[in-house]
Structure 1
């Protein structure tokens, strides 16, 4: 799917998404693309980002198997990013679109816009696999067809070319972004680097470049990795993150919940107590728990009561077991064990970093927040981390569990230690753009 540029994208401050009928769909729903940022920062990506570039490239290739990937890169790294994208031209993949845009680091999940879709007559307008197939068949049969956009009443041109189906529209009126305030996971309290102005500008810059109207949620501080949505009114968050002193200290828990409901079109917020041990984001929810589908979650787990993660996961399991979602459903909870052997930073790895003043520094032997829940749902796959070495058995176990829980998707493991040593994982470096509806009955 290609995003076409709007004539006049706007920053909306007068209303919020809930008032305008927009909401955050589930990541497991259909996408028109994924945003990533090429790795460059010396304090995150060791050895001139050599290992990180290989890991990011593997993630890009896996995602491009079923959706377009938009890769932002700064002046320093754009040559490498473009060369990699060019190398994929001969493969049967969706486009990898590289564009120049400066950032402070590469955590697209946290600095890119959170995208919402519009609810039309109480029907989700996120593109489903079924109605996309009907559109694809029309494209193949008629070469070009025109389908009405329910949001604007304008026509969408549908074409089929060598890359597969692409949908173009004059404006992305059915999809809007949210621009949160970003302060590097805690600002002056416990933020991870001192200068984050370029990261904080990325969401709006992306929306302007690719034609998305955007809601301005500032000064509310939030990162995309701190929220998960089931697309039916329920959000997952962690108390440890959203109630941390470095984000919105002047707001109560209830006030934060109301902000989330207003800007994500949600009805209920589920507050997990904790996340993954040693997660430097104050324990983002995307590293510990995710929706597989409405009413069903996957939770990072360990049976080892001596592991510090046990108490954290047990607290979240007990909480989720006692709760209902926005539709009144008791949640089905699946457990996804963390790696059996803790993943820790080595002396060799540490020597490859170049930290700047005010930047959080790593230490030899530091335990990293390794979790298999930090996966990305692409349109036809689960792109999930693998850690290798002593954890090869753990990797295979996690892949088997996800294959059983998501039989409709491919399981694509990516060696992700070189992302983890930067401070996050696959979900942290990706941000989905949901697909908008096209209705064959409106042609």
Structure 2
């Protein structure tokens, strides 16, 4: 039997652990970006995130083969560019989940990626290899899991607890033939966790055609051990109003791996309720990224942007909270956390 990361003393550290770098992927021509204008505006949005993060830590941008010159026209000269065959641009989901060993050595968990449950529009022939490519680029040991999973489907506290949703981990197209206990065993084995907290589902729009079917990283995330921020929708007219109430209640009743009852900080959704097509939005401040000395926070040109900024500044008192417009990223089905992946500092 192959030794698992947990058996060897590896664990996934929390996002606030010091980083060596951030990994991102550059939008390339695919069904997500369905016109030259859409592709251009998306590249500008991704570049704004990369250029903000690189002021705080190194950023490596994976670009599709032959697109280095194009990408260089969008991002800061400080952003490192590496070419690898690429389908899409959601590095959180296609990249590895980095681990640290008992002596601080770096390793990587490589989940099975199949286009968010083998969705009809998705392309993953190339993206399914990106985690392995990055493990090779960093020169670290790679652990291949049998679980169909994405980085946006998990959130860890670094002390043994992981948050997940039922509809991702046990959903059709992913691991519907697994039991809950089997999923927990695999997560714990490949993350070094000991406690899995299950949330029933994600936000309403995440079940649309281009959604992830319930990623946790738009719903709730740890900000320190024992403390989570949770998305809330104050407006009863929005379909997420009751969804969020249920999730907050569940989290407040949950305990972590250390036996602590979770403290839940509510992070209200932006005031906008509908997008330009008249559909409910899933704009969320939960989908932020914690970098060295900074929190990169989704902004929506909304009155609640500064409220969310203040809440996260209090949660991360030693970090600068940078607001970056994320509306174009959300229009493609994700947010700032979805397009970034941290590589923790070894040692």
TM (normalized to structure 1)?
Answer: 0.74
Q: For the pair shown, which has the larger CA radius of gyration, 1 or 2? A: 1
Post-superposition Cα deviations, 1:26-81, rounded to whole Å, max 9, x if no partner, equal: 00111101110011234323415211111111111111112111100013532122
- CA drift of 1:369 comes to 2.1
- CA drift of 1:259 comes to 0.6
Q: Give the conservation status (yes or no) of the 8 Å contact 2:294–2:322.
A: yes
**Aligned match for 2:145, one of 217, 228, 232:** 217
Secondary structure, in 3 states, of the residue corresponding to 2:145?
strand
- CA drift of 1:108 comes to 0.2
For residues 160 and 233 of structure 2, the distance between their equivalents in structure 1, rounded to whole angstroms, comes to 29
Say which is worse superposed, 96-105 or 401-410, in terms of deviation.
401-410
**Aligned match for 1:71, one of 33, 50, 61:** 61
Q: Give the conservation status (yes or no) of the 8 Å contact 1:368–1:421.
A: no
Across the two proteins, how many residue pairs are aligned to each other?
341
**Aligned match for 1:308, one of 235, 239, 243:** 239
The answer for unaligned runs of 5 or more in structure 2 is none
- CA drift of 1:98 comes to 0.2
Q: Give the conservation status (yes or no) of the 8 Å contact 1:274–1:315.
A: no
1:239 matches 2:140: no
Q: Which residue of 1 aligns with 2:338?
A: 428
1:54 matches 2:37: no
**Aligned match for 1:321, one of 241, 252, 263:** 252
Q: Which residue of 1 aligns with 2:312?
A: 402
For residues 141 and 3 of structure 2, the distance between their equivalents in structure 1, rounded to whole angstroms, comes to 12
For residues 41 and 105 of structure 1, the distance between their equivalents in structure 2, rounded to whole angstroms, comes to 8
Q: 1:408 to 1:367 in 2, by over 3 A?
A: same
**Aligned match for 2:298, one of 360, 370, 385:** 385
Say which is worse superposed, 37-46 or 377-386, in terms of deviation.
37-46
For residues 278 and 49 of structure 1, the distance between their equivalents in structure 2, rounded to whole angstroms, comes to 22
- CA drift of 1:114 comes to 0.7
For residues 119 and 210 of structure 1, the distance between their equivalents in structure 2, rounded to whole angstroms, comes to 19
Q: Which residue of 2 aligns with 1:110?
A: 93
- CA drift of 1:194 comes to 4.6
For residues 377 and 213 of structure 1, the distance between their equivalents in structure 2, rounded to whole angstroms, comes to 25
Q: 1:420 to 1:343 in 2, by over 3 A?
A: farther
For residues 339 and 170 of structure 2, the distance between their equivalents in structure 1, rounded to whole angstroms, comes to 23
Q: Give the conservation status (yes or no) of the 8 Å contact 1:112–1:206.
A: yes
For residues 302 and 117 of structure 1, the distance between their equivalents in structure 2, rounded to whole angstroms, comes to 36
The answer for unaligned runs of 5 or more in structure 1 is 1-12, 90-94, 126-173, 347-363, 438-443
Secondary structure, in 3 states, of the residue corresponding to 1:262?
helix
1:274 matches 2:235: no
Secondary structure, in 3 states, of the residue corresponding to 1:432?
strand
For residues 12 and 30 of structure 2, the distance between their equivalents in structure 1, rounded to whole angstroms, comes to 34
Q: What does 1:3-402 correspond to in 2, within 5 Å?
A: 14-45=2-33, 46=35, 47=37, 49-75=39-65, 77-85=67-75, 88-89=76-77, 95-120=78-103, 125=104, 174-187=105-118, 191-218=119-146, 220-279=147-206, 280-344=211-275, 346=276, 364-388=277-301, 392-402=302-312
For residues 228 and 192 of structure 2, the distance between their equivalents in structure 1, rounded to whole angstroms, comes to 20
Q: Give the conservation status (yes or no) of the 8 Å contact 1:343–1:370.
A: no
- CA drift of 1:83 comes to 3.4
- CA drift of 1:368 comes to 3.7
Say which is worse superposed, 268-277 or 428-437, in terms of deviation.
268-277
Q: Give the conservation status (yes or no) of the 8 Å contact 2:272–2:281.
A: no
For residues 433 and 424 of structure 1, the distance between their equivalents in structure 2, rounded to whole angstroms, comes to 20
- CA drift of 1:254 comes to 1.1
For residues 335 and 415 of structure 1, the distance between their equivalents in structure 2, rounded to whole angstroms, comes to 21
Post-superposition Cα deviations, 1:292-319, rounded to whole Å, max 9, x if no partner, equal: 0111100000222332111111111111
